[in-house]
Amino acid sequence: MEKSTDSATLSAIKEAEKTGIKTVWDRYAAQIPQCGFGETGLCCRNCMQGPCRIDPFGEGPQMGVCGANADIMVARGISRAVAAGTASHGGHAKHMAHTLFKSAIGEAPDYPIRDEAKLKAVANRIGVKVDNRDVRAIAIDVAKKALEEFSEKESPLTWAATTMTKGRIDTFLKYNVVPTGIDSVVAESMHRTTYGVDADPVNLLLGAVKCALADYAGCHIATDIADILFGTPHPTLTRANLGVLNKDAVNIAVHGHNPLLSDIVVQVAGEKDMIDRAKTAGASEGINIVGVCCTGNEVMMRHKIPLATSSVSQETVILTGALDAMVVDYQCIMPALSNIAECYHTKMITTMPIAKIPKAVHIEFSEANAKESARRIISTAIEAFKKRDPNKINIPDISSAAFAGFSTEAIIGALSLVNKEDSLKPLIDNIVAGNIYGVCLFAGCNTVKVTQDANYTAMIKELVKNNVLILATGCASGAFARHGFMTPEATEKYAGNGLKAVLKAVGQAAGLGGPLPLVLHMGSCVDNSRAVDVTVAVANKLGVDLNMLPVVASAPEPVTEKAVAIGTWAVASGLPTHLGVVPPVLGSKTVTQVLTSTVKELFGGYFIVEPDPVKAAEALLSVIAERRRGLGLSA
């Protein structure tokens, strides 16, 4: 199996092979064969009488020590993965909410409110009074409302209840999966999956749905507050891939998921004093910030910061020999980075108290001294630059243009330029006419288990030639950016005639002088909520529920527990959701049946598991056709 379809990544891998440095692909090869019990979900270590395994062929044990069968084991495993994902997004959202509160009361001066319109829009939506009130007072109440979402309360989560269709809310109430607290439902999930509690696989899965809906609320909180503090993204042109590194500059990569630190690093890197210090150290072109993973998406769409690479290939940025500091916050960060950094002059810098890595320099981040921390980080990178070995520098001259920053507001704004009286009408009319056959949200990660980016690039070509509009977030958007799909040129090359005409019309109205890019980049992985907002707006306009719309989702290369949580709430929202890697559920016929079939009867959404990208695209087109027929549209 080829390791990647990205030539820049392959170049970096070859460099590692020459020097004997082990990468994620080498570590994966060392694990082969991986545990078959774990791959099918038939391994449990939830108590100290285990670990227990069940034989999927029926020749060995069929129950764990406690009597848990395959259905219980697999359902518990999936439920715990959803809980972990929800805890991750929830922790991110809570961090953002605390910062908004500190900003409003004057304890975080480096975080002014940059988008008052977004603050007021969110306040209106969640029931915070806006009229004749000071912005800081509004922000305090919004932050308090956000923080109230984490502890258990009697009412449903506000950020879920106010952003879904009435039909979805009624469905959630019907099946008793309405969460009332983000942290409390995570705790409930951990409780019900522990030794001797819930042993009904269907009930366990419904509990996972409840927890996943809390994940959705956490994602939405994080997105809303990031926009309030840093500005709501609008389309901007940048570049992507390893060629964005600059041998004549101090190169700093920001990696992780939370923009609270990375946004400040970008701001401080532009200060004259910092630039002068870099030039004095010998960096004639000053300081070059590049992004990795979802933190990269955050600064790409707000500051035009180029995106170097994505999750599975994060080590390759160091392998160029030109990276002076790898600055990380939390989530999707490989501990191996510090080992590779030791082979170069690169400083590995951790910043969060919950995410330390041995051998890394730790520069503690706090809202009260954000710029001070950023200056220390950049100073550390400048000192590292002085120790570069020119003989180790190998920057692939490969990068692609990429348009990023299509927030909900940006998309609606662009549509309003076509029809000022009814901004959604152009989108709806073109869906009805078939010019836009359907919509697909690409989300998720890169995984070492398949050729990097291969699924993404193969699927998008099949979908867009059939006039499917593509939205993307997270490392999915990174894949499209590196391969040149986030450009107007890609629209001209790959889009079907109907889709091309629509993207041209909106692009011309927006003053771009050409079509919109083939892929509309909506942000980091928490920003999947933006796609839901657009979908809900269309559903409400048409007076239908989400499970009726020709909208689907795809995670061709899922990896993390966060992806499991996102996929689960996407399905609960009514979206058929494709997975390109088989999840650890095949050990249970019951769980597999529920996730791929039965759940459709309950929520309208369901999982489509298909490793072959062309077959996966065909399956999604079939689903879109089915939904178009359901709306009385031509299939």
* pLDDT at residue 380 in the model: 98
Checking if the pLDDT of 558 tops 90, the result is: yes
Checking if the pLDDT of 74 tops 90, the result is: yes
* pLDDT at residue 563 in the model: 97
Could you say which of 1.20.1270.30, 3.40.50.620, 1.10.357.10, 3.90.550.10 is the CATH number of the domain covering 70-230?
1.20.1270.30
* pLDDT at residue 469 in the model: 98
Chain Cα centroid distance, residue 548: 25
Q: Quick one: average pLDDT of 584-593?
A: 97
β-bridge partners, 326: 253, 348
The DSSP string of 613-625 is HHHHHHHHHHHHH
Strand ranges of the sheet holding 438-442, from the earlier edge strand across to the other edge = 519-523, 468-473, 438-442, 551-555, 577-579, 607-609
Q: Which residues contact 233 (CB under 8 A, 6 or more apart)?
A: 227, 301, 302, 404, 405, 406, 407, 410, 523
Checking if the pLDDT of 603 tops 90, the result is: yes
Rounded to 10 deg, the angle between the 182-192 and 70-104 helix axes is: 160
Structure tokens at 610: 């298909």
Q: What mean pLDDT is reported for the chain?
A: 97
Band (pLDDT 50/70/90 cuts) for residue 382 is very high
Rounded to 10 deg, the angle between the 135-148 and 201-230 helix axes is: 160
* pLDDT at residue 635 in the model: 81
Q: Which residues contact 200 (CB under 8 A, 6 or more apart)?
A: none
Question: Tokens 């952003």 label which residue?
Answer: 163
Checking if the pLDDT of 511 tops 90, the result is: no
Q: Quick one: average pLDDT of 77-93?
A: 98
Domain spanning 242-392 has what CATH number? 3.40.50.2030
> Residues 286-306: pLDDT tens digits?
999 999 999 999 999 999 999
Read off the DSSP letter of residue 330: S
* pLDDT at residue 44 in the model: 96
- 343 backbone φψ class: left, alpha, beta (φ>0; ψ -120 to 50): alpha
β-bridge partners, 53: 43
* pTM: predicted TM-score of the whole model, two decimal places: 0.97
Question: Tokens 């559903």 label which residue?
Answer: 539
Rounded to 10 deg, the angle between the 370-385 and 272-280 helix axes is: 20
Residue 201 near residue 75 (C-beta atoms within 8 A)? yes
Write the class of the CATH domain 400-630: alpha beta
70-230 and 242-392, same CATH topology? no
> Residues 469-491: pLDDT tens digits?
999 999 999 999 999 999 999 99
Sign of CA dihedral 443, 444, 445, 449: negative
> Residues 126-184: pLDDT tens digits?
999 999 999 999 999 999 999 999 999 999 999 999 999 999 999 999 999 999 999 99
- Domain locations in the chain as residue ranges: 70-230, 242-392, 400-630
